[in-house]
Amino acid sequence: MKSSLKKIAVVCPIFSDKVSGGSEKLIFQFVELLASDFEITVLTTRSLDYISWKNSIPIQSKDLFQDGSNPSKQIHFEKRSSSLGGSYKILQFTVEKQRNIDRFNRLSKKILEKPSLQNKENVNYWLQEQGPYVPELIQFIEFRKSEYDIFFFVSYLYYPLVFGLPLVEEKSIVIPTFHDEAPAYLPIYKEVLTDRSSYSFNTPEELEVFRNILGFKPTIYSITGMNLNFDRWSNFKENSNFLENSETVHSSIKSKSPNSSENSPFLLYVGRVDQGKGFLEMVEWFLEWKTKSYFLHTLKIAGKIISKIPKKILENPNVEFLGFVEENTKLNLIENCSCLINSSPLESFSIVLMEVWLKENQFLLMQDRTFSRVIVSEATVVFFIPIVKVFSPL
């Protein structure tokens, strides 16, 4: 690595290409793109699960990073080559408090619904429970901030940004992935997200939501979005293994449902299977539609199950849970689906919708939120209908 390259630290809760979250995919691609031109160090956790923050990545003696400021704490170290050229380092800190999501949801309901409880002590406790609770990562930033030219912080909601950003705010760029959701209105975010930092937004509408909630438009910001490779569709098909991969994908999908056939039409959902994404409402409306419609479509779900799913849905032959799928499998599903459904009412940017749009396939949006309007305004021809009206007798 050339010593003249600028040194960048990227702070994020999870760093992996094996997680089905949009924010995780965004930052993974971001690091891969920058690795050839900058000296990148990712500061993250050993977790791959944002529900429990369980430390999934094991630490072996050969992979230890020795931190002189706190030698008693073990930090997992990895050096990885970027698929686009260059390399980068990953430091993964141990999460010191796993999250009980039911208990946290009860705490959130109490804090978010009662402004009188939103004092500093209660909110700090809420942030620790929100997680990922990695005080050693914060200490690392504090003691080594002079070693980096720029800090990138990803995802406004979580502990690492709230406690790490104030230590280096004047040389930081925040990628907030901001949503119009209840936690965004907590006073702590007005204290932390200030005009002393620079910002990168995915869409103009995300910037507008940020301005409306926090009360200012950053002096220094960019509308960066995300790079989607137009060539990968042709590369995907031209790959010598495409037909073999396609047949494998179809076989794996067919095996999930004894009633499916190779040419059965299907609707598609891609992403975390999470109640916060409007998932259950979408499935319930779909199943109601199936009882009143002659169409043969099934609903395929590609993504890790995060929330509890009712047994009647898990066992319904018209709903197929595929779990987390690799990129080629996902591309094949997008290629072959009749329509993709995005059920989340709170998105400010949706990667999979951009991919479907790029493929010139059809999609449905759950509700007319701000991010929905940017899709509609930028697309050549898009019909927006509330999903509850789409799933009606035909």
Sign of CA dihedral 44, 45, 48, 51: negative
Is residue 104 helix, strand or coil?
helix
Q: How confident is the model at residue 387 (pLDDT cuts 50, 70, 90)?
A: very low
Total-model pTM: 0.74
CA–CA dist 224, 202 (Å, integer): 5
Q: Which region among 121-135, 142-156, 284-298 has the lowest average model confidence (pLDDT)?
A: 284-298
The per-residue pLDDT for range 159-205, each reduced to its tens digit, is: 999 999 999 999 999 999 998 889 999 999 999 999 999 999 988 88
pLDDT at residue 69, rounded to an integer:
54
Kindly report, residue by residue over 49-95, the tens digit of the pLDDT: 888 999 999 887 667 776 655 555 789 899 999 988 899 999 999 99
**Crossing angle for the helix pair 204-214 and 370-378, nearest 10 degrees?**
150
pLDDT above 60: residue 261:
no
**What order of strands is seen across the sheet that includes strand 172-175?**
64-65, 75-81, 87-93, 39-45, 7-11, 150-154, 172-175, 198-201, 221-223
Q: By mean pLDDT, which of 9-18, 304-313, 330-339, 356-365 is the weakest?
A: 356-365
Q: Do domains 7-223 and 263-385 have the same CATH topology?
A: yes
Residues 6 or more apart whose CB falls under 8 angstroms from that of 365 comprise 342, 353, 372, 375, 384, 387
Fold held by 263-385: Rossmann fold (3.40.50)
Neighbours of 98 (CB within 10 A): 16
Q: Class of 7-223 per CATH?
A: alpha beta
Query: CA–CA separation, 39 vs 44, rounded Å?
Result: 16
| Arithmetic mean of pLDDT, 206-213 | 93
Give 335's pLDDT tier (boundaries 50, 70, 90). Answer: confident
pLDDT tens digits, one per residue of 227-244: 766 565 455 455 534 334
- What residue spans define the domains of the chain? 7-223, 263-385
Beta-carbon contacts of 262 under 8 Å, excluding residues fewer than 6 positions away, are: 250, 254
